Chain A
C-alpha cells in the first residue's frame, strides 16, 4: 500500500478515548473500535507534522522566552468533516493520502480571511476507503497577532 502508514493501536485508542473523556467500553480492549474523530491522531505518524517539536530543531513555543508566532501559525481550524465507509478497529493499519481541496476567501471583521481545505483519505491494506476527512483551516491575512480574538 502507498500512503503514510497509521497503525491503529489499542493503547492509542485508550489514550485518545480518555482525552475526550469517553469511557465507552467499545473503545477499550484489544479489538477496540476507534472513536469518530480518532483518525486525527495519525499526526503522530507523520514524520513532517509541523505541530510536533522535534529534537535539535527550532520550535516556535516558549523556552526561556515566550516563543514566536511563526508565519501561518495564527491559523485556526474552521471546520472538520468525516465520512465513514466502515468502522476503524485496533489492530489494523490505515494508509493516509493527503491532497489539497478548495480554497476561498472571505472578508472578516479585521481583514481578509483565507480558507483552505486539506483532504485526507484513509485506506486499508486492501486499498479500500475507510474514512474520508476534510479539514478546513482559516488564516487571517496580515500580522498574525489576534489580540482581539476573544
Chain B
C-alpha cells in the first residue's frame, strides 16, 4: 500500500489519540515486548526511592512506537523511508497522548515522489512529549 501524490497535499494534517489514561501495566507490557526492562519503567519502588522520580514513566520507545501509527495508518508501513524523533518530556501513567502528522513538502526524487512529514505528540496539558520527522515514498 502506498499513496499517490494526488491523495496527499502539503499542509494536510492527521491527528490521532494514541492512548487515553496510560496504565502502568501498559508500560510493563512494552517492557516485555521490547526487552527493555529498565526498572525506571517497570519498578515503582526503584523509580521513587532509588532514582528519585515521582514514579515509573513510559519508555520513550513506547511513545515513539505509538506515534508511528499516525504515519503508518496514513501512508502504510512499507512506504516509510525515515522516521526519527526527539524525546522532549516524560510520559507518565495517567497521560493521554495525541499525535499529529503534517505534510511539510512533497519532493520529486529520481526514484519517485517522497512526502516529508513533521510529527508532534502532546499530552493532556498540551505539553510536547515527542517531536519528529518522517519521509515516505509515494506511488510514482
Q: Which of B32, B33, B43 has the most CB of A within 10 A?
A: B33
Q: Would you call A15 and B73 a contact (CB within 8 A)? A: no
Interface mask (B71-90 → A, CB under 8 Å = 1, otherwise 0): 11100111011111111001
Q: Are B65 and A37 in contact (CB under 8 A)?
A: yes
CA gap between A82 and B72 in the complex, in Å: 14
Q: DSSP majority for the A interface? A: loop
Residues of B within 8 Å of A1, CB to CB, are none
Q: Is B34 an interface residue (CB 8 A)?
A: yes
Kindly list chain B residues whose C-beta atoms are within 8 Å of the C-beta of A18: 29, 33
Kindly provide the distance from the CB of B33 to the nearest chain A CB, expressed in whole angstroms.
Answer: 4
- The count of chain B contact residues (Cβ–Cβ below 8 Å) is 49
Contact check, A69 vs B50: say whether CB atoms are below 8 A apart.
yes
Say whether B78 contacts A87, CB under 8 Å. yes
Write 26 A-B pairs (CB below 8 A) sorted by A numbering.
A12-B33, A16-B34, A19-B65, A20-B66, A22-B65, A22-B68, A24-B73, A26-B77, A36-B72, A36-B83, A37-B65, A40-B61, A41-B33, A41-B35, A42-B35, A49-B35, A52-B37, A53-B37, A61-B46, A62-B39, A66-B48, A76-B60, A77-B61, A79-B85, A82-B83, A149-B52
| B contact residues vs A (CB 8 Å cutoff) | 18-19, 26, 29-30, 32-40, 42-43, 45-46, 48-54, 59-62, 64-66, 68-69, 71-73, 76-78, 80-87, 90
Binding site for B on A (CB under 8 A): 12, 15-16, 18-22, 24, 26-27, 33-37, 40-44, 49, 51-53, 60-62, 66-69, 73-74, 76-84, 87, 134, 144-147, 149-150
